[in-house]
Amino acid sequence: QQQVKQSPQSLIVQKGGISIINCAYENTAFDYFPWYQQFPGKGPALLIAIRPDVSEKKEGRFTISFNKSAKQFSLHIMDSQPGDSATYFCAASIKTGANNLFFGTGTRLTVIP
């Protein structure tokens, strides 16, 4: 059973455009929502993360939007660049108890020049 559902599976965006990746969850005990970025041949790397006490977090061109009532969160990449081409994973975890991340299935982003 997939704890975190992610869409789309793949995404093609023109350089300068906005990339949007969406995730949804069911477990209301989740209270930490990171996004990981993975380049070919590398392991996933933490990109940005949010806790449910805020609705938005921005770091440079990357923004997480969080909707607690809908149990959804999304990653927005503004002014997308070819160097952003990678696979993006959303994830969720519970702060207390087991230190365990539940990953989404990933979105392969391609930014074309």
Partner 1 sequence: DAGVIQSPRHEVTEMGQEVTLRCKPISGHNSLFWYRQTMMRGLELLIYFNNNVPIDDSGMPEDRFSAKMPNASFSTLKIQPSEPRDSAVYFCASSLTSTTGSYTFGSGTRLTVV
Q: Which residues would be at the binding site for partner 1 (CB under 8 A)?
A: 32-34, 36, 41-46, 49, 89, 91-96, 98-101, 103-106
Residue number, 25 or 89, with CB nearest to partner 1: 89
Q: Which residues contact 66 (CB under 8 A, 6 or more apart)?
A: 33, 50, 52, 54, 55, 56, 57, 72, 73
Q: How far is the CB of 34 from partner 1 (least distance, A)?
A: 5
Residue number, 44 or 77, with CB nearest to partner 1: 44
Residue number, 77 or 92, with CB nearest to partner 1: 92
CA 95 to chain centre: 18
Q: How far is the CB of 107 from partner 1 (least distance, A)?
A: 11
Strand duo 4-7 + 56-59: pairing: unpaired
Q: How far is the CB of 33 from partner 1 (least distance, A)?
A: 8
Q: How far is the CB of 60 from partner 1 (least distance, A)?
A: 18
Residue number, 15 or 95, with CB nearest to partner 1: 95
Q: Which residues of 7-27 are buried (b: 16+ CB within 10 A; e: fewer)?
A: eeeebebeeeeebebbbbbee
Q: Under a CB-based contact definition with an 8 Å cutoff, are residues 15 and 113 in contact?
A: yes
